[in-house]
Amino acid sequence: MSISERRPWKTVSPARIGTYAFLLVCALFFAMPLFIMLMTSFKTMEEIRSGSIFSLPSAPDLGAWVKAWSAACTGVACDGISVGFWNSVRILIPSVILSVLLGAVNGYALAHWNFRWAGIAFGLLMTGAFIPHQVYVYPLVQLFAWSGTFGTLAAIIAVHVIFGMPVMTLIFRNYFVSIPEEIFKAARMDGAGFWWVFFAIMLPMSTPIMIVAVIWQVTGIWNDFVLGLIFAGRENLPMTVQLNNIVNSQFGEREYNVDMAATILTALVPLVLYFISGRWFVRGIAAGAVKG
């Protein structure tokens, strides 16, 4: 039998049709809600009430988007979800930078500096990763209250940095372990200490894992609801919490188009990040899996 005859995907077979049908159903399953949300957000309330949820908007209208961004009511105030957006940005940027950097330093120390109790330290950190976050909520609230920082931006940033630590440390450690020890030794012979090796040698080599870590943290922190609600305080409530407030405020009629627009706006940051870096994300995970 020749090789060309053995190519099963060239011919239409029942197995092939089945595979495609399955893929199509899956794609529809995930795409349908997005489609409905987008369509609804461009309709007026009049049209939503009268038409099918699957129909295209007769005259696309941006009114709902404008209202969601700048005028929707989140409880008492009616400044739209933009307030939450900027709150989330203020929480996100320092939290991501701090947690990724600390994770990188931790991972590097664990991977290359055989200090005493390194194994135990790593084990404890990993235990932390597997205990549900809810367990920590009450002690942390007490701790922040006692130190007078409860309900501040610093508090919510600290919480994100702390909860990000185990996973960040783990992925950086696994990545740094895959860097040949000889490079580390050579740098030590050249006179480089802990920080020199980290900043001059290790950090420049860690771009792929850095991207993975940033994506991981950005999505996690942006999508967080509970921690933001508890620790951020009224002034700093993140976008997810504001979205919930918009959707669940019960004055008058339910503005489905505004709700949909606000939801898409909230999901936009992780979505954009995935589109830009999906390629890197998969590559980074694969690299870690093989080498770690």
Partner 1 sequence: MSSVSVKNLEVRFGEHAVLKNLDIDIKSGEFLVLLGSSGCGKSTLLNTIAGLIEPSGGTISIEDRDVTHEDPSKRGLAMVFQSYALYPKMSVRGNLGFSLRVNRVPKAERNKRVEEVARFLQITELLDRRPAQLSGGQRQRVAIGRALVREAKVFMFDEPLSNLDAKLRAELRVEIKRLHRSVGNTMIYVTHDQVEALTLADRIAVMKDGIIQQLGSPEDIYDRPRNRYVAGFIGTPRMNFIGGELLVEQQGVPMFKAEAFGFSLEGYDFEKYPTQASAVELGIRPELLTIVDADHASAKVRATVDLTEMLGAESIIWCDVAGQQIAVLVQGKPGVKPGDTIGMAFDPATASLFDAASGLRL
* Binding-site ranges for partner 1 (CB under 8 A): 180, 182-183, 185-192, 196, 200-201, 204-205
Smallest gap, in angstroms, from Cβ of residue 189 to partner 1?
5
Residue pair 262/247 in contact (Cβ under 8 Å)? The answer is yes
Could you count the other beta carbons within 10 Å of the beta carbon of residue 282? 11
Q: At what angle do helices 207-223 and 82-112 cross, to 10 degrees?
A: 140
Smallest gap, in angstroms, from Cβ of residue 176 to partner 1?
14
Could you count the other beta carbons within 10 Å of the beta carbon of residue 51? 14
Task: Report the residue number, 170 or 210, with the smaller CB distance to partner 1.
Answer: 210
CA proximity to 110, closest of 50, 53, 152, 170: 170
The span from the CA of 69 to the CA of 156, in Å, is: 24
Smallest gap, in angstroms, from Cβ of residue 183 to partner 1?
5
246: its two tokens = 């918009």
CA proximity to 216, closest of 270, 173, 174, 289: 270
Task: Report the residue number, 184 or 231, with the smaller CB distance to partner 1.
Answer: 184
Smallest gap, in angstroms, from Cβ of residue 211 to partner 1?
16
Task: Report the residue number, 80 or 288, with the smaller CB distance to partner 1.
Answer: 288
Task: Report the residue number, 131 or 205, with the smaller CB distance to partner 1.
Answer: 205
Smallest gap, in angstroms, from Cβ of residue 102 to partner 1?
22
Task: Report the residue number, 211 or 247, with the smaller CB distance to partner 1.
Answer: 211
Task: Report the residue number, 177 or 183, with the smaller CB distance to partner 1.
Answer: 183
Residue pair 87/95 in contact (Cβ under 8 Å)? The answer is no
The span from the CA of 49 to the CA of 66, in Å, is: 20
Smallest gap, in angstroms, from Cβ of residue 204 to partner 1?
4
Which residues does 198 contact at the CB level (< 8 Å), separation at least 6? Answer: 104, 105, 108
